[in-house]
């Protein structure tokens, strides 16, 4: 048990508190924006019922929008962030095991945040979605796993944190802007990231969540394969 906690402390130190706080900052920023919009609406005479309806609509987007984006950017950074990566590659234990363990710690942290966010929103009466625990956790878990795996894989493929983060941002914004279009076709509606926020009553919601988790598994397998290539780890960022 002591060894496990020692290893966990080491991994947390390598990940860094700033990286761990990125999802927290994203959540706090989103909530602050919702509060600001609500205050402005009330100040301009918008009815309380209308403001409350807007708050419900905005806050149900919080875990599904912010955790995947923040988590994927951190995953992209962590994949290439080990300062002694060259030393790891000389050891009998494969570096891929270390990297996967690090992704596991990040995913566990995102899970703690996700459950806490959903339960706090529910506590304040803004969680008006048709699922109960644990199914309701798929609202954020499925897209988060998919984007975290995508972020790590992109970092290994491109060997450039800035480029992989930019692509993640484009994917995230594109899913928001073209959500209606993506939902029209079978080829894309099952991998649409934000279905819980936009069409929570969709009959294919569970299929969509399972498909996203399947995408995550495929991308994690790709990450595992790429971690076995030393050139994917030692290449300089351009």
Mean pLDDT of the chain: 84
What whole-number distance in Å separates Cα of residue 234 and Cα of residue 236?
A: 6
Task: Give the residue numbers spanning the domain of 77.
Answer: 2-234
User: Would you say residue 52 has pLDDT above 70?
Assistant: yes
- Top mean-pLDDT range of 52-61, 85-94, 102-111, 229-238: 102-111
The confidence score (pLDDT) of residue 1 equals 59
In the structure, what pLDDT confidence band is assigned to residue 235 with cuts at 50, 70 and 90? Answer: low
% of the chain exceeding 70 in pLDDT: 87
What count of Cα atoms within 13 Å lies in the side-chain half-sphere of residue 37? Answer: 16
Reported as a single tens digit per residue, the pLDDT across 68-109 is 999 999 999 888 755 544 444 455 456 677 788 888 889 999
Greater confidence (118 vs 229) lies with 118
Instruction: Say if residues 188 and 215 touch (Cβ distance below 8 Å).
Output: no
Q: Are 140 and 118 in contact (CB under 8 A)?
A: yes
Question: Cis before residue 219, ω within 30 degrees of 0?
Answer: no
Q: Which residue has the tokens 């290539």?
A: 229
**pLDDT tens, residue by residue, 169-190:** 999 999 999 988 999 888 899 9
What pLDDT, on the 0 to 100 scale, is given for residue 18? 87
pLDDT above 50 (res 131): yes
The gap between the terminal CA atoms of the chain, to the nearest Å, is 42
pLDDT of residue 190: 93
Which string of b and e fits 146-168 if b means at least 16 CB within 10 Å?
Answer: bbbbbbbbbbbebbbbebbbebb
**pLDDT tens figures, 203-230:** 899 999 999 999 999 999 998 888 876 6
The H-assigned helical ranges of 80-160 are 85-89, 95-123, 138-158
Distance CA 70, CA 60 (A): 17
pLDDT for the residue numbered 84? 47
Helices and strands of the chain, counted as H and E runs: 13, 0
Q: pLDDT at position 194, please?
A: 94
Q: Number of structural domains, the chain?
A: 1
């Amino acid at each position: 048990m002591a060894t496990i906690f020692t290893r966990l402390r080491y991994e947390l130190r390598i990940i860094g508190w700033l990286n761990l706080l990125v999802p927290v900052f994203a959540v706090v920023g989103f909530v602050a924006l919702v509060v600001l919009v609500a205050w402005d609406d009330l100040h301009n005479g918008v009815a309380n019922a209308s403001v409350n309806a807007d708050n419900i609509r905005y806050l149900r987007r919080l875990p599904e929008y912010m955790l995947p984006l923040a988590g994927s950017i951190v995953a992209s950074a962590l994949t290439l962030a080990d300062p002694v990566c060259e030393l790891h590659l000389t050891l009998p234990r494969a570096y891929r095991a270390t990297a996967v363990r690090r992704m596991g710690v990040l995913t566990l942290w995102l899970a703690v945040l996700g459950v806490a966010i959903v339960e706090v929103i529910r506590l304040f009466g803004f969680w008006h979605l048709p699922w109960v625990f644990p199914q309701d956790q798929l609202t954020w878990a499925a897209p988060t796993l998919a984007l975290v795996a995508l972020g790590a894989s992109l970092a290994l493929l491109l060997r450039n944190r800035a480029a992989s983060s930019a692509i993640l941002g484009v994917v995230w914004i594109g899913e928001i802007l073209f959500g209606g279009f993506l939902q029209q076709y079978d080829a894309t509606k099952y991998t649409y990231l934000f279905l819980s926020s936009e069409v929570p009553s969709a009959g294919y919601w569970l299929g969509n969540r399972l498909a996203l988790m399947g995408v995550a598994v495929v991308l994690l397998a790709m990450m595992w394969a790429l971690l076995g290539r030393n050139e994917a780890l030692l290449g300089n960022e351009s």
